[in-house]
Chain A
Amino acid sequence: QVQLQESGPGLVKPSQTLSLTCTVSGGSISSGSYYWSWIRQPAGKGLEWIGRIYTSGSTNYNPSLKSRVTISVDTSKNQFSLKLSSVTAADTAVYYCARDVELLMTTVTFDYYYYYMDVWGKGTTVTVSS
């Protein structure tokens, strides 16, 4: 079964760029109808969707982070990555990667595309501090 594992520095200095990688094992990142997403969670708080990428390279980002976020994919390594620039203490959080399923449901009149995150990494804590 597919598993995801986040990796990257646990400590980043303010104004620098946070870089994380998610390695997909147990299946090809290119197979199936999946997006690959990043989500974060500050300590004691809720979940914030950061963005996602399709293996074609198509991306969607949270507008509140869009100017600072880049998500990329390396199909040869079965990995996708997150870069968040100009970080501040507010970016301190647990960062999760997840597989985002694109499910097509057809009816007589319409086709519906549903999206949901069915496989998650364990998360990695990133602290922004000097």
Chain B
Amino acid sequence: DIQMTQSPSSLSASVGDRVTITCRASQSISSYLNWYQQKPGKAPKLLIYAASSLQSGVPSRFSGSGSGSDFTLTISSLQPEDFATYYCQQSYSTLGTFGPGTKVDIK
């Protein structure tokens, strides 16, 4: 099975900060990597698919990069509504493993 790790597990940031979250796969997954945002009590929301493609309706301050086994989600200027937990998910294998999540909270 492909294992996914994320770092950091949590971070504190201020509105306007540039935030970077890293996701690493236990083997190469090409660009088969998705990013989701989840707020408390809500379902996850798709942000990025295929490592760098922005889902329709998602603000352009979100961007994704990477290929192989190392990936990054960047929020260029953190907004109040961005405080949430972010999950990566690989879709290289049928078992679509999620990362453990990165919680972004207010500094």
Q: Are B50 and A117 in contact (CB under 8 A)?
A: no
Number of A-B contacts (CB under 8 A): 60
Q: Are A116 and B46 in contact (CB under 8 A)?
A: yes
A35-51 to B contact mask, C-beta < 8 Å, 1/0: 00100000000111100
CB distance from B40 to the nearest CB of A (A): 10
Q: A122-B43, A123-B43 are in contact. Are A114 and B100 (CB under 8 A)?
A: no
* Docked complex Cα distance between A112 and B29 (Å): 12
* Docked complex Cα distance between A82 and B1 (Å): 23
A63 CB within 8 Å of chain B:
yes
A90 CB within 8 Å of chain B:
no
Q: A120-B45, A123-B43 are in contact. Are A46 and B87 (CB under 8 A)?
A: yes
Q: A116-B34, A116-B91, A123-B43 are in contact. Are A49 and B49 (CB under 8 A)?
A: no
Interface residues on B, range: 20 to 34
B50-90 to A contact mask, C-beta < 8 Å, 1/0: 10000100000000000000000000000000000001010
B16 CB within 8 Å of chain A:
no
A14 CB within 8 Å of chain B:
no
Q: Are B96 and A115 in contact (CB under 8 A)?
A: yes
Chain B residues with CB under 8 A of A112: 30
B97 CB within 8 Å of chain A:
yes
- Identify the 4 closest CB pairs spanning chains A and B, nearest first: A116-B49, A120-B43, A115-B91, A47-B98
B contact set with A: CB distance below 8 Å: 1, 30, 32, 34, 36, 42-46, 49-50, 55, 87, 89, 91, 94-101
A contact set with B: CB distance below 8 Å: 37, 46-49, 60, 62-63, 96, 98, 101, 103, 105, 112, 114-118, 120-123
24 A-B pairs whose Cβ atoms sit less than 8 Å apart in the complex: A37-B96, A46-B87, A47-B36, A49-B97, A60-B94, A60-B95, A63-B1, A96-B43, A96-B44, A98-B43, A101-B49, A103-B50, A114-B49, A114-B91, A116-B46, A116-B49, A116-B50, A117-B34, A117-B36, A117-B46, A118-B49, A121-B43, A122-B43, A123-B43
